[in-house]
Homo-oligomer: A and B are copies of this chain.
Amino acid sequence: MQNRNISDIIEQYLKSILKESPSIEIKRSEIAQQFDCVPSQINYVIKTRFTVQNGYLVESKRGGGGYIRIEKVDLVDDAEYLNDLIEYTGKSITETDAFKVVQALYENHFLNRREANLILSTFNRNVLAFSDHEIEDIVRARILKSVINRLKCAD
């Protein structure tokens, strides 16, 4: 769990201050300077790690006094959120992206750790290794959506 690259470090930093308050406002260039990277790296971190499906809202403003605001939002409507994830999953999904969805389900308490691991084991690369890669992603999407749909049912 060590930090292996700048993106991970910045992600951790931002999430740590997000624990203090549910909404933070940063200056892109300041963070970039603080972590000795180019400003656009911040955009990369945000785009890859602070997505809507993970429950983050991001707003920003350019020009003098510009900022980037990241907000951790609570889910208002469970069913709606699950539908969003289904939509995000789409007809086809890579293992990496599917992992992100399961992680989101875990973080939002739709799955516990054990359940998440079980689900992940059903569609990892080896399991779905077909001759055709496209089919692999299609089957994975079907499995994932079926699971999410199942989660809509109260046990």
Contacts and interface: CB of A to CB of B under 8 A. Distances in A.
A33 interface: no
A153 to B, nearest CB: 8
B149 A121 contact: yes
Interface size bracket, A side? 20 to 34
Q: This chain: how many copies in the complex?
A: 2
B128 A147 contact: no
A152 to B, nearest CB: 11
Given A115-B115, A127-B143, A128-B139, 12 more contacts: A4-B66, A5-B65, A7-B65, A8-B65, A113-B155, A114-B115, A121-B147, A122-B123, A122-B147, A127-B139, A128-B142, A143-B143
Interface of A: 2, 4-5, 7-8, 25, 61, 64-67, 113-115, 117-119, 121-124, 126-128, 139, 142-143, 146-147, 149-151, 155
